[in-house]
Amino acid sequence: MKKRTLGKQAMPSTVPLLELPGRALSDSGESASLRLLEPAQCDPDAICVQIETGCYGKPFIVEDGQTRRLHFSLDLIQSAMRFDDPYALEFAYTRKMMAFLLFVPNPEHVLMVGLGGGSLAKFCHRHLPGTRLTVVEVNPDVIALRAEFQVPEDKRLAIIQADAAEYLPAAEGDTDVLLLDGFDSKGIAPTFLNRDFYQAARRRLRPGGVLVANFAESRKYWSRHQALLNEAFAGRVRWGTVPGGDNHIAFAFAEAGCSFDWEGLEERADALADRFPLDFPALVHSLREGAELRWAKVSGR
């Protein structure tokens, strides 16, 4: 295994935020408060215009009394946290990504690319107490908001400020599960669209490891990523559907022999449902549905 130092661990800190209560957001007309990484002496009206026109260059928080949401733009919610259950996985695609537990139920090390509001990091930290967690996030402003989303401060959870395209090649064979959920204001992080990136991701996995990637919006925006992922993993990629949304979840396996034993997975799902607050039988069903849909397309049925 090769390894070199890259990136720096972000130290937890409390960042004062500018709060603008009672703002009507242009996308829906809802009245909500904005919380911003801005000094008190800034021009709030000018900033609101930038947000409404999509020209604001920083992540920001929208609160409606029930949820706290991380935005890159008004039409792109990066993450959401319910005040009544801060550790719940609010978005269906995050619950689907946790289906990796069907294949690696007791990971020693989970590496995540993309912090967002920390939903996956928080869930894994709470429900996988024996797992070491590393999160790679390129945007320091996203990291600065971690406390707002109650991301734990713990030695088991390291948050590294680095570009994943540079970080992943820095080591090999040290990860059981690699979660890719890296987006900027325009979509999937552009540095991911590279053959070397997906090859480095494959090499990062230990034998038996799995990569889980979230792809959003129309397939035309991520079809090239799909091709590179299939190439890096020699076709050992399976897809899961996410009902009611534009997310598609890919499961890529480090080793051959990833043909699914559906009866075995259903039995494993029942056991996992007793350990985690997730509907694993439904996750197996959606995985099977995605596999059958892909086979129908390949066979022309």
- Euclidean distance between CA atoms 186 and 16, whole angstroms: 27
Catalytic residue among 181, 184, 246, 279: 181
Q: Where are the alpha helices (DSSP H) in the chain?
A: 44-52, 92-97, 119-127, 140-144, 164-167, 195-204, 223-232, 262-273, 280-299
Q: For residue 273, which phi and psi values (nearest 5 degrees)? A: -65, -25
According to DSSP, residue 234 is labeled T
Tell me the C-alpha distance between 267 and 245, whole Å.
Answer: 27
Q: Could you tell me if 201 and 164 are in contact, meaning their C-beta atoms sit under 8 angstroms apart?
A: no
On whether the CB atoms of residues 93 and 212 are closer than 8 A, the answer is: no
**H or E element at residue 1:** none
d(CA 279, CA 188): 27
Residue 181 known to be catalytic: yes
DSSP string spanning 45-80?
HHHHHHHHTT---S-EEEE-SSEEEEEEETTEEEEE
Which DSSP helix (H) or strand (E) runs through 112?
Answer: strand 109-113
Amino acid symbol at 141: D
Amino acid letter at 210? Answer: V
* Dist. CA 191–CA 170, nearest whole Å: 16
Q: 195-204 and 223-232 are packed helices; what angle lies between their axes, rounded to 10 degrees?
A: 50
Q: In this structure, are strands 60-63 and 67-73 parallel, antiparallel, or unpaired? A: antiparallel
Q: What is the DSSP letter of 102?
A: G
Active-site residues, by number, are 181
